[in-house]
Chains A and B, each alone.
Chain A
Amino acid sequence: MKNFNLMFKNKAFWNSKSFIFVLLVLSAIPFSFAASVSNNIEKDIKIDYIIPEQRQISGTVTDTDGVPLPGATVRVKGTNIGAITNFDGNFDLTIPEDEDILVVSFIGFVTKEIALNDETVINIVLRADAAALDEIVVIGYGTLSKKRVTGSVSSISPEQIVDMPVASVENAIIGQVAGVQVQQVSGEPGSSPNIKIRGSGSISAGGDPLFVVDGIPISKNLTSVDIQGDLARRGGSFQAPPVNPLATINPNDIVSIEILKDASSTAIYGSRGGNGVVLITTKNGTPSEEGVFNFNSFYSSQKVANKLDLMNSEELIAYTRDARNNPYVQDVPGASADDPIGPGERGNGNYEIPESFLNWDGTDTDWQDLIFRTGSMQSYNLSYASPMQNNTSYYVSGGYFTQEGIVPDSQFDRYTLMLNLDSQLSDKLNLDLRIAPSITENQREPASAPYFARPPGIVYSALVHSPTVKPYNEDGSINQTNNQSHLGAGTTTASNPLAIIPAIDDNLFQFQTRTSLGLSYDITPDLTFKTFGGSYINIYNRDFYRANSLLYRNSTEGESYAQASSSTQNSWLWENTINWTKEQDDHFVDAIVGYSMQKDNVSVKQVQADNFPDDLVTTLSGGQVFAGSSLKEQWSLLSAFFRVNYSYQDKYLFTGTIRSDKSSRFGANNQTGYFPSFSAGWRVNEEDFLSSVDAVSELKLKFSWGQTGNFEIPNYGAIGLLSPLNYNFNGSQVNGLLQSTIRNPELTWEKATQTNFGVELGLFNNRLFLLADYYRTVNSDLLLFVGIPSVSGFETTLQNIGKVENKGFEVALRTRNIVGDFTWETNLNFSANKNEVLALNANNEPIFSRGSAGIRHITRVGDPIGSYFGYVVDGIYQSQEDIANSPEDTEAPDPAPGDFKFLDVNGDGKITPDDRTVTGSYFPDFTWGITNTFTYKNIDFSFLIQGVEGNEILNLTSRHLKNGEANFNSYAVFNERWRSPSEPGNGNIPRADRESGSHGNNNRPSSFQVEDGSFIRLRNVTIGYSLDTQDTFLGETFDRFRVYLTAINLATLTDYLGYNPEVSNNTTSSLTPGEDYGTYPLTTSLTLGFNLNF
């Protein structure tokens, strides 16, 4: 620990680049290890030959400012003999007498060769290389110096995620990586963000990238089997979004994240690389002489990020009156708006208003205030990185994270343990053992569902509920029967949201372990054989109970229901690789060949019960079990792969990859695929004509081409399956079996062919560093559920058909604007992607998709996948003449002034279903993020602004909150409705009309429900203070202490009416993206945290 103290006492440390280098050291630990290991071998292994004479040398490695460089590698040229500098930059080395050249290398510095002569103490000064360029980058099945990378890889350094108060690591990179769109679609604790790398190429197969955690592939695509235990009895099939498998990983344990974006990088993952690959690497022991304890902790306070602007009681009553008077006057001869409007006074409930509206008692409930609370997050994490002792080092960590959601009773807890152990068993054999068990518990509340789902959505019920209703009865109990949900006259029929919260017990328990054992054997110093076995085991248990105490809408009795689900996912992997690395003269070759087997087994069980006599026992045994099922599925994958990286003078770079994959998921005639790629790079700055230009510190041109695939389809999609469809004869049960899918022996993976051009430019010693890529991906043979005539008995069949193109460019720019005592650094990223369907089936017939509320999506040639589909609102009829002069609307039985005028898209003089067209898309035109970081002495300050532009949201809450019928509470925008030609409102909102279906039919699927989802968000503001131990009361026992205050989602600028302009209900289908049909809102959080090294 003293070493640390010394370094931190050195004031220059904070003023120099060393700080960053320390972080770089952390990220380089795994690689430095390899070197340190080779050093230790010499000491510990008895070798059966004559030991040549040896001599001792020692020295210090510093940068040009004289700052020691800890973690630098000092090696005797051409051997494995070497050492790693300690935290004072010192090293000791025993070398054979006849060797006299040392190679000294350190990340970010130019490698130097030193002739020893007879010196025994040498001081070596390393010159900074084009700063970050010598970083080691994790690529699939290996690592590579960043300067040699020719593919498109974004590296997330620990400093980008460290101290980020988030549950799951994806949330930490929101807005920070070019070409990677991370969308936080729900504020529910433990929920899963959407990640899209360079758009979305797949139509029906999974769209998430492949995650590889320490070599173990983990898929977030939970599409094929219901392993989290969806509720068998949930009306409208509004299942809660799945919880996030990646939330089981403690972000504190992560040392690096690499995002492989182009096909040349992902082709090594073959049939699973098509959506991009995210490589996550966890920490190892420390190369220093003493172990490092790290303790960090934070506390966050969270509240709902925004409230929706809804009507208050007076506005709602006025609106309801309008909505009742308009049809009454229009349809009933001689009727007047001044006629009595109370219950029963007009002969039709749709013309009347309820008693509580007529004689309003002044109640004005803000339901949103009632259902949200102040939530919190707490995190505690303790880790120890051991030094190398007895050729063994390890990293252990334990973490606890808990989040209380802003909707009462929603909670997420995570307990993690990790042991990563690295041991040099002999001079040739290395063992790498990793065990990472975790437990997560999600206590869920049905927040993300419409008010009519079973159980009803809490948030949605609060939104549609009438403000005229009192939330509580006089005795303090929740108002459920006092006419709360049946005001009459066709107004609000929602359950009291406050009754939903205590009535639902929904606990999802997840036990997850990743374990792996890797053994590598150095056949020669250049040639390594590695065998790697890993497993990923995931056990889910879900217990759901819906209490009798909840009255569904206007029901008078509860509907108790319980479901117990459990499932096990057991995925194992065995890989064998041979790696050959050789650097000689101007040549560098790194080649790997390997094969891999993986098998995934899933088993799912569930039991259901109802008729609970009371709510005292909430497990199944408290009621009557009436149904149960169990299910098993498997998939397997057998692969061989080869890759070579070659560079000449580190100037001309080449990479070639090929992988073959054979998967059980595909049809018998089409099981094996080959996925080739190649890429080339030219580091122009190494050419003579540029080396004299000091301003250009790096200029690399890159080109890559490759083919990858997507195998995320149902496990038995190629087989015609029969499903039970039982019947009864006079009450006695019989088995029925119906074919539910069509066999397709030709079924195979989707192919993605991608071309990428990239440039890396560093200027002024990389004070300004630019990464820019242009890419074009064509996904072909898409796995598509193609609509077929239902005469076949099926609605769809899974086929390989169609083409989708994604093309775009992405730019990442880092500038160090001010250096010195005061530093200012800016990171900017910008990505634009255009998604376009190029071809579908033989006739290019469009695919119409049914989302949560009828057919509102279309996938057709020339537009993005899953575009919104409907009529286009073309204004509002201002008068009868206006109606007469407009094209006849065949879908509007009796339009009147104030109703929507729809667009005659095909120009045939009539509005018909043929006039439905694309009304928007969930794909943004571009996304961007900008981070500014300032440091002054011990203080750092940074803020991240992120933006998304040009995406639209299908706001299905409009069906109730913006329908003009006043049968629910409404968005306040309806206060600006059309009332009369002289009071036309804001010009966008039609008149109120309870019977719009018989008049203007304003609520048909149209552009009115499609809203602009563009936003600019102040995503993150952090201010931190790092204590130098020398100056503080904390004394000598601490090496580093940082305290920080972070605000997340502080402000969002958007025109979107709902909670969250990124929302998407149906995250599992790319054909129906972008729906907002009730959601758990995002939170604004304020976090105080600290980080302690000792």
Chain B
Amino acid sequence: MKKLITYLLIGITAISCSGDFTDLAPISSRNEAQFYNTANDFVAAINASYAGLQDNGVYGRAYWTMFEMRSDNTDQGPDATGLAAQYAEINRFTEDPLNQQITSAWISSYKVIANCNVILQRIESVEIDESLKRRIVGEALFLRSLMYYHLAVAYGNIPLVLEPFIPGDELVQVDATTVYDQLITDLETSEENLPISYPASDIGRATKGASATLLSKVLLTKGQNAIAEVVLRRIIDNYGYGMVENYKDIWGVSNENNLESIFEVQFQGGGIGQGSAFTNEFSPSSFLQTGFGFGRNRPTQALINSFDSEDERFGASIGTSYINEQGEETLADFVRKYESDPSTENDSDINFIVFRYADVLLMLAEAIGESNESYQLINDVRERAGLPEIGSSTPGTFNEKILEERQLELAFENHRWADLKRFNSEKEVFEVAEPLVNPAVVRELFFIPQREMDINPNFVQNTN
């Protein structure tokens, strides 16, 4: 008897000690401990950073609420409950630090940044093809900088983390200028590393032009216009971009990644989680495309009024009515730049153009300052829109003219809020533009999300 028990106990112990039975590796997921070794690993990793741009916290949604609806270009319209309340608050500067859009923008932007940080750290010690390594480093630096630029514009005081962050480490906020300084260094490296263009299967990856465009934006924001001018001229001279002949041909699924396009977030419908929602979000009616039309990001009357009647950009950018099912014309102002017909709601192929050549031309004009050359650059843009030339004798200051041209040329492309800040005109424009916004409540910075405030007790909340 005792023997039997002894044997059994020995048996139990033996089984308990054998590690195999309880050592189970994941079957349907990859294990990070065995990843980041090969060239393919890093390509897949950097691809995921691009995919992060589609997120609802980035270009998918939060960015157009924070960089376009925040501005005088668009508003939320009458529907202001539920999710729409979140938008309306941002439009009217009444959001609190709990607002889901500002929270998800922070989280999702840093998700892209963190992935780039891992790539940049892990790729150093790995032996893979040197040119590929350079390219991936360039892409990672560009994507990280793109996120940091938006975070700096939106929140101002943010943690600038350039290596994988280990929970428990101290986290400090730095001001936007410190961020911009880092971006200038990173983007210079990135521009150096990246190719001018890609073969067809890689179109959509960051290029020299993309890095240089972001670099010049950062330089302009910092007031380093002279350096910006050098960079912008490099883009124009060396990187092979040009203007699409008709403004309306910049838009639409069939015109994606065109001559003028410098960087686009690539979306693709078909139920694979890569579709964009812009068509449904911005359309006022389900008669215009498959699925709901939410009528969001609505052009303000002031913006509509700013367009000259001859301006060809108006019709391509803004719709003012549609024909409903009964064949009746129904009045509604809406954004047209992202029209498409998704096969299902919120799942469209339509890309989001982050940077395009017209922006570069206008930035160069801005960098040079008032001069014949800068008017010529502005007039190049106006000419395509079918508008007469302007010059020093045209009423208004040079800054006012260039800001207005940027507003009309680049409407609904998420540039307006940064432009207003760069030209220090964010408060006054609301006097006329948006009756629902009290200029007294206009704030330069978004709140740091309450979630981050709660987790990082040393963070200081933005008050202005």
Contacts and interface: CB of A to CB of B under 8 A. Distances in A.
Interface of A: 233, 348-350, 452, 490, 523-524, 527, 529, 552-557, 559, 561, 576, 578, 593-595, 597, 599, 608, 610-611, 626-627, 630-638, 640, 660, 662-664, 671-672, 715-716, 719-723, 725-739, 742-743, 786-795, 797, 843, 845-846, 848, 854-855, 891, 893, 913, 959-960, 963, 965, 967, 995, 997-998, 1001, 1003
A729 B201 contact: yes
Contact of A791 (B29, B113, B441): B113
Nearest to B345: A559
B16 A721 contact: no
Contacts of A638: 15-16, 21-22
B9 to A, nearest CB: 7
B144 to A, nearest CB: 12
Contact of B79 (A490, A662, A742): A490
Given A348-B78, A552-B292, A633-B27, A730 B35 contact: no
Given A610-B271, A788-B455, A913-B98, A559 B344 contact: yes
Given A789-B167, A846-B454, A854-B100, A593 B159 contact: no
A610 B8 CA distance: 58
Interface string B427-464: 00000000010000100000000111011110000000
Interface stretch (B60-68, B88-96, B357-365, B367-375): B88-96
A725 B48 contact: yes
Contacts of A349: 78
Nearest to A488: B78
Contact of B110 (A233, A729, A791, A843): A791
21 contacts: A233-B271, A348-B78, A527-B1, A556-B287, A593-B9, A610-B343, A626-B270, A635-B24, A636-B22, A716-B26, A722-B32, A725-B52, A730-B266, A734-B43, A734-B44, A735-B47, A793-B117, A794-B114, A848-B454, A959-B82, A965-B81
B291 A854 contact: no
A792 B47 contact: no
A737 B50 contact: no
B325 A556 contact: yes
Nearest to A730: B203
Given A640-B13, A739-B32, A1003-B81, 17 more contacts: A527-B1, A552-B292, A557-B286, A593-B8, A595-B12, A595-B15, A595-B16, A638-B15, A719-B33, A727-B47, A728-B274, A733-B268, A735-B47, A790-B106, A790-B452, A792-B164, A963-B81
Nearest to A965: B81
Contact of B35 (A452, A722, A726, A742): A722
B85 interface: yes
Interface residues of B, number: 100
Contacts of A529: 4
A728 B266 contact: yes
A786 B454 CA distance: 12
B45 interface: yes
Contacts of A672: 16
Contacts of B78: 348-350, 490
Nearest to B50: A727
A729 B203 contact: yes
A867 to B, nearest CB: 15
Residue of B31, B49, B81 most packed against chain A (CB within 10 A):
B81
B98 A854 contact: yes
B287 to A, nearest CB: 6
A966 to B, nearest CB: 11
Given A556-B286, A662-B22, A854-B100, A997 B107 contact: no
Nearest to B23: A664
A527 B3 CA distance: 13
B257 A730 contact: yes
Interface in B207-222: none
B114 A793 contact: yes
B223 interface: no
B290 A793 contact: no
Contacts of B118: 739, 793
Contacts of A350: 78, 80
A739 B257 contact: no
Contacts of A632: 27-28
Interface of B: 1, 4-5, 8-9, 11-13, 15-16, 21-33, 35, 41, 43-45, 47-52, 54, 78-82, 85, 88-89, 92, 94, 96-98, 100, 106-107, 110-111, 113-115, 117-118, 159, 161, 164-167, 171, 198, 200-205, 256-257, 266, 268, 270-274, 286-287, 290-292, 325, 343-345, 349, 436, 441, 450-452, 454-457
Contacts of A788: 167, 455
Contacts, number: 274
A803 B438 CA distance: 48
Contact of A636 (B24, B41, B50): B24
B363 to A, nearest CB: 25
Contacts of A630: 28
Given A554-B292, A638-B21, A730-B266, A791 B79 contact: no
A351 to B, nearest CB: 9
Contacts of B325: 556
A570 to B, nearest CB: 14
A737 B35 contact: yes
A523 B96 contact: no
Given A626-B272, A795-B107, A576 B8 contact: yes
A552 B294 CA distance: 13
Contact of A997 (B43, B94, B110, B117): B94
Contacts of A967: 81
Nearest to A666: B22
A791 B272 contact: no
Contacts of B257: 730
Contacts of B85: 997, 1003
Contacts of B12: 594-595, 640
A738 B286 contact: no
B111 A729 contact: no
A671 B22 CA distance: 8
B240 to A, nearest CB: 17
A960 B85 CA distance: 13
Contacts of A854: 98, 100
Nearest to A854: B100
Contacts of A793: 110-111, 113-115, 117-118, 164-165
Nearest to B20: A636
Contacts of B165: 789, 791-793
Contact of B29 (A593, A671, A723, A733): A723
Q: What are the 5 A-B residue pairs with the smallest beta carbon separation, nearest first?
A: A793-B114, A720-B32, A736-B48, A736-B47, A738-B48
A559 B290 CA distance: 8
Nearest to A726: B51
Given A597-B15, A640-B12, A730 B204 contact: yes
Contacts of A633: 26-28
B214 to A, nearest CB: 19
A663 B456 contact: no
A664 B28 contact: no
B454 A997 contact: no
A791 B287 contact: no
Query: Which residue, of B24, B35, B171, B266, has the highest number of chain A Cβ atoms within 10 A?
Result: B24
Given A559-B344, A597-B15, A727-B266, A634 B274 contact: no
A738 B115 contact: yes
A227 to B, nearest CB: 13
Contacts of B21: 597, 599, 636, 638, 664
A1060 B407 CA distance: 53
Nearest to A233: B271
A746 to B, nearest CB: 13
A843 B168 CA distance: 11
Nearest to A561: B344
Contact of B24 (A634, A738, A797, A959): A634
Contacts of A786: 167
B22 A664 contact: yes
Contact of A737 (B5, B45, B106): B45
